[in-house]
Chains A and B, each alone.
Chain A
Amino acid sequence: MSAYRKPLPAVDDLNRPFWEGVRRRELRLLRCEGCGGYRFRSFRLCPKCGGDKATWVETSGKGTIWSYGIFHKAYFEGFKDEVPYNVVLVELAEGPRLYTNLVGARNDQIRIGMPVEAVFEDVTPEVTLVKFKPAG
């Protein structure tokens, strides 16, 4: 297996449960214990109610495409061989949005509103990324 040359996420104390989750094929979000709202970001406080207690919970992994872009310019050396590649913004069923790549579809098949579901890709021995594919 050739070396993985794309940038890798920075794991820290706040987001570590997320990255441990994807290693186990779980897409986790923070759920506020005060208002029940979900958030993707590892923010300390709930942006909705200001509550400071939250739990990482497994989610459905389902969502829809909110918008997307096709990169023709390789800003990152590691993506040079893949242009044009897609980045999609997925709105999860639980509410939060996240950027990711859509796999299992050609770039010209992507549409706003398309139902998608999470898949997990081990990109290095330590790191797994969550990507999405058309819901089937």
Chain B
Amino acid sequence: MPDLERLKRLRNRTAIVGVGASRQGTFPDLDPYTLAIEAFRSALDDCGLVRGDIDGLIVQGPGGVSFVRMGEMLGLNPVAGATFDIGGFATGPLIQYAALLLDSGICRNVALLYGNASRTEGRRFGGETTVTPGREYSSAFYYYGLTSPGAASAFQARLHFETYGTTSRQLAAVPVAQRRHAALNPQAIKKDSPLTVEKHQRSRFICEPLRLYDYCLINDGGVALIMTTAERAKDRRKRPVYLMGLGRHDTYRHSSLPNYLLWRETMPMAAEMAFGMAGIGRDDVDALMIYDSFSINIWFALENFGFCKPGEAGAFTQDGRIELGGEIPVNTHGGHLAESYMQGWLHQVEAVRQLRGECGARQVRGAEIVQYICRGNVASTLIYRN
């Protein structure tokens, strides 16, 4: 059990002051380092710091992007650097780690750099390339044709459908909403590709019951965030976005089998921790950024964080409730399903831009609190305020 009283001391003690994104798409000539550095330059410019101000370097990317190599390329010799290669659910934990580096006094300005060239590298999230020869534990059951993170979500979607009577047609509301949001985001890869429920229902299954449009994009790009302490944040170029609450909960039981009961073993605990630390309730949240490798993740986040009751996400996500202007707008940038697959990092950029009021046509009016949620056996959440 987290020591909530102690954790509360961290409330609003650190802030994101700079955000940056590289071009997002397919770039055969660029590697993850180059993409991350493009984003880093943009983030420095965003907050008015220079390279030499950075004394903490946190690096992530699929396939392993080295903080040592990144630091060498950037000419950085920080107090502390690290690469955490723990997959897509790393984003929340890494921002939490950065907050601890800052609040403890180990670092003054931490840069978090993310580079992803999955499209160009032809990365397959399933099949022969994901099987480690001779390692039964790392990739068991592939001999039955089981593979891919999407299959894990498909098994959970099936469980949700059969347990609660929800349907693929109801799930379509998630990608449809996010395409609508993407249409208002100049950075979104699918900004000119609207989606309807009918088109979703006609699209092919990948791992049934999930269809093509329930799966995220795979593309290249880079993202950078710069964080500092609350005191220093006031001197930066733009309005700071404070880390008000954070939550995390892991379970490793059945880690090699995607058979959690819809993430009920991790997400509610992470939620309780973050709301407790921030001292707010769900009704105070103006928008949600939800890690959406697959559309069904949105349902798990809404149910397990108490935005609706267990089993009710199918009905809850209808009628524009998760769209701009609705009860709780979700992934106003378009998310992984429609903007870009930057494994949660562009979700942070969008949270910051919403809280600065920089989002133009997709601005959530009067946004004061935005929450990030990631499902998984490593579940995490961040609550931001302006």
Contacts and interface: CB of A to CB of B under 8 A. Distances in A.
Do A and B truly interact? yes
Interface of A: 6-12, 14-15, 41-42, 47, 66-73, 75-77, 79, 82, 84-85, 87, 89, 97-101, 111-112, 129, 131
Contacts of A76: 127-128, 142, 145, 147
A15 B136 contact: yes
Interface string B269-294: 00000000000000000000000000
Given A7-B128, A99-B257, A69 B154 contact: yes
A62 to B, nearest CB: 18
B205 interface: yes
B135 A10 contact: yes
Give the interface SS of chain B, mostly helix, strand, loop or mixed: loop
Contacts of B205: 70, 72, 84
Contacts of A42: 136
A98 to B, nearest CB: 7
A130 to B, nearest CB: 10
Interface of B: 124, 126-128, 131, 133-137, 140-148, 151, 154-156, 158-159, 162-163, 204-209, 253-254, 256-257, 259
A79 to B, nearest CB: 5
A97 B141 CA distance: 12
Contacts of B145: 6, 71, 75-76, 79, 82, 85, 87, 101
A99 B155 CA distance: 11
A82 to B, nearest CB: 8
Given A11-B136, A87-B145, 17 more contacts: A42-B136, A67-B155, A69-B158, A69-B209, A71-B151, A71-B208, A72-B208, A75-B124, A77-B128, A85-B145, A89-B257, A89-B259, A97-B254, A98-B141, A99-B146, A111-B162, A112-B163
Given A70-B205, A71-B207, A73-B207, A10 B144 contact: no
A100 B162 CA distance: 20
Q: Which 10 A-B pairs have the closest CB atoms?
A: A75-B127, A70-B208, A99-B141, A75-B126, A69-B154, A72-B205, A67-B155, A67-B159, A112-B162, A69-B207
B377 to A, nearest CB: 14
Contacts of A14: 136
Contact of B144 (A11, A101, A111): A101
B142 A72 contact: no
B207 A70 contact: yes
23 contacts: A7-B143, A12-B136, A41-B140, A47-B253, A68-B155, A69-B158, A69-B207, A69-B208, A70-B209, A71-B208, A73-B207, A75-B126, A75-B128, A75-B148, A76-B145, A79-B145, A87-B141, A87-B151, A97-B254, A97-B257, A98-B141, A99-B140, A129-B143
